[in-house]
Structure 1
Amino acid sequence: MTAQRLFEAVDATWPAAAFKQLGPFVLRDGQGGGKRVSAATATGPVQSGDVALAEGAMLDAGRTPLFMIRPEDQELDAMLQDSGYNLVDPVNVFQSRLNRLTDIPLPRVTAFCIWEPLAIMEEIWVKGGIGPARLAVMARAKTKTGILARWNEKPAGAAFAAVHDNICMVHAVEILPEQRRQGVAQWVMRAAAFWGQQQGAVEMAVLCTKSNTAANQLYSSLGFEVVSDYHYRQKDAQGA
């Protein structure tokens, strides 16, 4: 699978409210849904004037200028660094063949695929900082499901999965603190795999900040491999 396909799947399964092409940049309107749906990305060679144009458009829209930097964007990265943009939130892009996660049947009443989300799922997400603006991002995806996990006969976690181009991407994995370190997250991922298989997906992908050691270890233990990465460049509000 190419990195381009993965990043296209990111846009489709965790979509911004609007996309706008401005010179060599795609600008995203995230409507408060987080960096991933608010960052500008380059679609070709960039000059300093292009950065200024994109920066101005984001400021005019009331947003702090924010750029996503992928492996092919090294020149842009250096340009932004020289202009005072800070490096923020390095992220690993994990990928696996979906059938690596469908080799073990799900235990009964362990994970359920549900859309629309139940109130308890929204409560779990809110506790992890995933509020209404990110729920609106989920609602914009086309082929999607929420996942509710149960453990010790109680709600244990929630996640969101969506499919694009035969890729099942998992987002917003949140396990309640008292239910962690008991294997709940792996069952969430396996439930997503079984659901994705039913939608015709053959690959799985998940994004994880590099600072989240436990989650990175979990995905590696399930057979996921890091196939790409990205980070953001952003000025603080005063600098912008």
Structure 2
Amino acid sequence: MIVNWPAVVDGTWPAASVKRIGNITLREGQGGGSRVSAASIEGNVSDEQIADAEKIMLDMGQRRLFQVRPGQDALDARLAALGYDVLDPVNIYACAAGLLTDKPIPRVTVFTLWEPLAIMREIWAAGGIGPARQAVMDRASAPKAGLLSRYNDKPGGAAFVAIHEGVAMVHAVEILPHQRKQGLGQWMMRGAAFWALDNGADTLSVICTKANEGANALYRSLGMEVVGAYHYRLKP
């Protein structure tokens, strides 16, 4: 299956609004982070169009931020020449959802539900995933779910998963500091895989920054493979 990974990201973690200027797609994130506020370019653009896009981003109260995808080396060099710095290179991981359903999840370890419980929103907020990022989850189209993990009868972590065109993408994975190193990350990914299959998705995916060594090691240990990558260019 050929997957349009940018479309999966947009479909499962949507911007508040989207507009196009020629070959430039502009996203209004309303404080929801880089994924929902970065502009992207497909095809040729003029310096004037880039300048117009910059003005719109500033008028929206956002940073001048572009997403650069594989194969866009010329665009990357052009933005660098315009004074843009590299920001947050990321990996996109994926695997067959069935790969992570090979063992049962221990009882009361992972729950999937929508709407999120108050404790889930508190866990996200404690990890820097505040109301603006939680609003991204709220506006995502179904099927979607929040995941709550537990360890020793205490809340352990929260995550979000949604489906776009047969791909379930996990976002906002957050484990409470005192509950880390207990395997909750892998159980949440396994819980997402079971949920994905139950809701018509046969592929499970997740994004993390390349700098997050722990997350990259976790996803590799689960047999997930890097299927895509991108980075941002930010103009200070």
TM tier, shorter chain? over 0.9
* Structure 1 residue 153, shift from structure 2 partner: 1.3
Structure 1 stretches of 4+ with a deviation exceeding 3 A read none
Whole-Å separation in 2 of the counterparts to 1:141 and 1:193: 19
Whole-Å separation in 1 of the counterparts to 2:88 and 2:65: 12
Matching of residues 179-190 of structure 1 within 5 Å? 179-190=179-190
1:32 equivalenced with 2:31 (yes/no): yes
1:199 equivalenced with 2:199 (yes/no): yes
Matching of residues 195-234 of structure 1 within 5 Å? 195-234=195-234
Cα contact 1:19–1:29 (8 A) shared by 2: yes
Whole-Å separation in 2 of the counterparts to 1:104 and 1:41: 40
What count of residue pairs does the alignment treat as equivalent?
235
Identity of aligned residues (%): 56
Cα contact 1:42–1:73 (8 A) shared by 2: no
Deviation digits for residues 30-69 of structure 1 (CA, Å, limit 9, x no counterpart): 0000000000011222332221121122122222211001
For residue 80 of structure 1, give the secondary structure of its aligned residue in structure 2.
Answer: helix
For residue 16 of structure 1, give the secondary structure of its aligned residue in structure 2.
Answer: coil
Matching of residues 1-240 of structure 1 within 5 Å? 1-2=1-2, 5-142=4-141, 143-236=143-236
* Structure 1 residue 7, shift from structure 2 partner: 1.3
**Two-structure CA RMSD over aligned residues (Å):** 1.0
**Gaps spanning 5+ residues in structure 2: where?**
none
**Gaps spanning 5+ residues in structure 1: where?**
none
Q: TM-score by structure 1 length?
A: 0.95
Cα contact 1:48–1:79 (8 A) shared by 2: no
Letter in 1 for 2:200: G
Cα contact 1:46–1:76 (8 A) shared by 2: no
